[in-house]
Structure 1
Amino acid sequence: MLQFTYEADVEQAELLAAHLKRIDQRVAQTAKDCQYTAVVEALMCLRGIQVTTGFGLAVEIGDWTRFTGATIGSYLGLVPSEQSSGQSRHQGPITKAGSKYGRKLLIEAAWQHRRPYARPGARLLGQLDLVAPATWIRALEGNHRLHRKWEQFDARKKRSVTANTAIARELAGWCWSLAAPLQPGERMNAA
């Protein structure tokens, strides 16, 4: 009976993996030729963001120009909650206000910046060829800075979940800096 259960579970996992692969292929096809194509290609220059994540963020945010680099984290609920009274100020856990899906995508992508990083890998190099030089320079700056921030958090023995949330908040700002200039009717504010 145990063997039967195991085989049924393996079969279910294989079916789900095949289904997920088909969905990913469909998302990739859609992302290649839509109003968000340029934004998705730019976002994919950041570590941890591939086509499904880039497309999800592009669709979830929509018009990136309505934010600044500082306000995008608030929209995604990645800023600390705060209770203030008189002169005392206490920051708590993140607000989790706003886009739950966008927040989840960034939290997952942020973990990639913890891994060692010296130069772009093959996937990233191919992606950089698809975007303008200003975009890839900005993306490489972001990749290096986010990895350095992880190293600083690790050196300070910061809890990894807390550090990752901080990285995700900063990653949101880097995404904004890549996406907002590519959108028509640019009314971008200074970060």
Structure 2
Amino acid sequence: MAKNGSDELMSIGIDIGKDFFHLVGFDLDGRLVLRRKIKRLALVTTFEDLPRCVVGMEACMSAHFVSQTLRELGFEPRIILAIYVKPFNKGQKNDYNAAEAIAEAALRPNLKTVSEKAQEQLDLQALHRVRSRLVSRRTATMNQIRAFLLERGITVRKSVATLRNSLDAILNNRSDELSLRMRKLILGLQQDWVWLDKRIDMTTAEIKDLSTSDDSCRRLMTIPGIGPLISTAVVAAIGKGEAYDRGRDFPAWLGLVPRQNSTGGRTILGRITKRGSKYLRTLFVQAAQVIMMRPQNWHKFSFGPWLEAAATRMQHNKLGVALANKLARIAWSVLRAGTDFNRRGQEILVAI
């Protein structure tokens, strides 16, 4: 077995690590001819000496950077979801076995791969991740304030506005129930809350500015229920949707389709799969719930008759998921067609 490569490599699998990469390669006969551990900084110098072939890697941190680097060198990189690599794993879990499984998975012609993201998409994705983290921290801060007040017998209605408006009055007028140390702690948490509000507003404003300057985002925002957050998140995740052959493939990737457990010719459907991006799936479900809150507007949309009929036979939450699925299909259609959503003439695109 050659340790330094082969003149006839068919595929290479890379197990990407923080400081080291593990490489495993197969020749045209499917024999393992490359097995090497390299430093991250030696990526370019190592692959410059290797014959051009298919290079597979799992979708993870820095996978898009590695893919872009190898594509510039003339290789054919393929980013594969970890769930699709798992069936090819053999033996115990280690870096070389993982790289070997990736190399084998990269050669499967029918295996769906992850589209390589451009730098603009990665920047937009980073903005959404920062905003999501800030919102999560703000929620944790508010919950901690409520918990401290509740331990002193002070309850506040379950509303962000109520807590914000009544917190100053509680700190000033309920000093007999709150110790001096506890008042200082809550005041510090209140300052954290104000700072987080400012950071979230700044990040949201930046996302809105980007949504107005991007053509794809502007087209997506013509769809009912979709605004700057969802439009930019969709563009950051799938670009123009080239990775999907049909409209139903996008909501399937989001996990908005029923889980199947069918056998013997019987179709058995369960709860939704919840695969793919949880963040984007949540945004689509929230958009659907906003539309469902205003039934007087349903007749304005091309999917209005379907929504009115579905509302009579579906439970509320199930209807929300079904509508989120339809919105995701419409979003894919708008991106692929490169046109605005026609509220009365989009049925052909939706059916794709």
Q: TM-score, normalised by structure 1?
A: 0.70
- 1:119 is displaced (CA, Å) by 5.6
Matched, 1:80 2:258: yes
Aligned to 2:328: 172
Question: Taking structure 1 as reference, are residues 154 and 87 closer, same or farther at Cα in structure 2, changes over 3 Å only?
Answer: same
- 1-structure distance, mates of 2:209, 2:294: 31
Deviation track 1:23-66 (CA, whole Å, cap 9, x = no partner) reads 01122233344xxx111111112233211221011111113143
Contact 1:78 1:169 in 2 (8 A): yes
Within 2, Cα distance between the matches of 1:88 and 1:39?
41
Unaligned runs of 5+ in 2: 1-178, 340-348
Q: 1:147 to 1:117 in 2, by over 3 A?
A: farther
Residue 4 to residue 157, structure 1, CA distance change in 2 (3 Å): farther
Amino acid at match of 2:313: R
Q: Which one has more relative contact order, counting CA pairs under 8 Å at least 6 apart? A: 1
By percentage of residues, which structure has more helix? Answer: 1
Q: 1:177: how far off?
A: 2.1
Asked if 1:44 corresponds to 2:221, the answer is: yes
Q: Is the 8 A contact 2:329 2:350 kept in 1?
A: no
More strand by share: 2
1:20 to 2:200 alignment: yes
What is the number of residues matched between the two proteins?
161
2:268 is aligned to: 90
Alpha-carbon distance between aligned partners in 2 of 1:79 and 1:190, rounded to the nearest angstrom: 16
CA distance in 1 between counterparts of 2:272 and 2:297 reads 32
> 98-107 or 5-14: which moved more?
5-14
CA–CA separation in structure 2 for the residues paired with 1:119 and 1:190: 22
Aligned match for 2:312, one of 136, 144, 155? 155
Which TM-score applies when normalising by structure 2? 0.40
Letter of the 2:254 partner, please give it. L
2:8 alignment counterpart: none
Alpha-carbon distance in structure 1 between the residues aligned to 2:330 and 2:276:
18
Residue 211 of structure 2 aligns with an amino acid whose one-letter code is A
Q: Does 1:115 align with 2:293?
A: yes
Counterpart of 1:162, as a letter, is K
SS at match of 1:85: coil
Q: CA separation of 1:190/1:109 partners in 2, compared to 1, >3 Å: closer, same or farther?
A: closer
1 CA distance for matches of 2:317 and 2:186? 33
* Identity percentage of aligned residues: 22
Q: Residue 174 of structure 1 aligns to a residue in which SS?
A: helix
Question: Quick one: structure 1 residues 69 and 20, their matched pair in 2 at CA, closer, same or farther if it must change by over 3 Å?
Answer: same
Native 8 Å contact 1:76 1:102 kept in 2:
yes
Give the deviation of 1:164 after TM superposition: 1.2
What is the DSSP-based 3-state SS (H/G/I as helix, E as strand, rest coil) of the residue aligned with 2:294? Answer: coil
Describe the SS at the equivalent of 1:64.
Answer: coil
